Amino acid sequence: MTHKEIREQSQRLLLLTGIKLFGTKGYDATSIVDIETELNLTRGAITYHYKSKLGMFETTVNKYYLGRVMPSSVPEDFRGNFKDFYLKYVSMLEEECLALMNAGVRNVAGTFLNLEIDALRNSPDFRDQCTELNERQISVFELVIGRSIQNGEIKSGVTPSLIAEMFMNVVIGQTRRSNVEGSMYYTDGMLRQFNSIYRLISM
């Protein structure tokens, strides 16, 4: 292993430990000693990558919360047909959830809720980042809906921006429901609502 590969592996382990600890215990209750104990690393090894607990927390939030699977994560190959697009998005969510659980994150939805609450308290730019992220997702929905109108999949009288907001509201609503009520994503509920809207707007 090269020095770069070792460094990248250490960073991945640190961030995975971050989401486990910050996502279950919370930011305030997680100490550097907890991280040291979990990974059997020295404080120097941790601060080499992240200068402080806050720095590690913010990087964890960026990777696992702001960088989680979103509509904008769907590959271009699936953006020509709206139903293909949202089915791919749902399957990617399920894969992400399983990957996190296999990595030791037992309550994925609750973990995201805890990260969100602590990020709102500790990261001044987090709210603006979320707003910008949501606007980007709506624009991706709008783009795919527009293409699907052109190819005859979606009715021509449909307003892309309005339908994009409806789909994004389903994403946000089901995410909130998952965070509060469950341990996994409510992809089944999301898919049911997506299909219901799709039946109304498709040809």
- What tokens does 28 get? 């305030």
Q: Which two tokens stand for residue 194?
A: 């997506």
Model pTM above 0.75: yes
In whole angstroms, what is the distance from residue 141 CA to residue 72 CA? 8
Confidence of residue 44 (pLDDT cuts 50, 70, 90): confident
Mean pLDDT of the chain: 90
16-39 pLDDT tens trace: 989 999 999 999 999 988 988 888
Closest CA to 93 of 165, 185, 195, 198: 185
pLDDT of residue 183: 67
Q: In the numeric block, which tokens belong to residue 19? A: 């989401």
Q: Is-contact 90 194, C-beta < 8 A?
A: yes
Write out pLDDT tens, residues 115-172: 999 999 999 999 999 999 999 999 999 999 999 999 999 999 999 999 999 999 999 8
CB 174 within 8 A of CB 189: yes
pLDDT at 3: 67
Mean pLDDT of 42-54: 78
Q: Please report which helix (H) or strand (E) contains residue 149, including its range.
A: helix 126-150
| Angle (deg, nearest 10), helices 126-150 and 160-181 | 130
How far from chain centre, in Å, is Cα 77? 21
pLDDT score, position 128 = 97
62-115 residue pLDDT tens: 999 999 999 999 999 999 999 999 999 999 999 999 999 998 898 888 899 899
**Beta-bridge mates of residue 154:** 202
pLDDT of 182: 67
pLDDT at 40 over 70: yes
How far apart CA 17 and CA 123 sit, in angstroms, is 19
The yes-or-no verdict on residue 1 having pLDDT over 80 is no
pLDDT band at 176 (very low <50, low <70, confident <90, very high): confident
Q: Give the pLDDT confidence score for residue 166 in this predicted structure.
A: 96
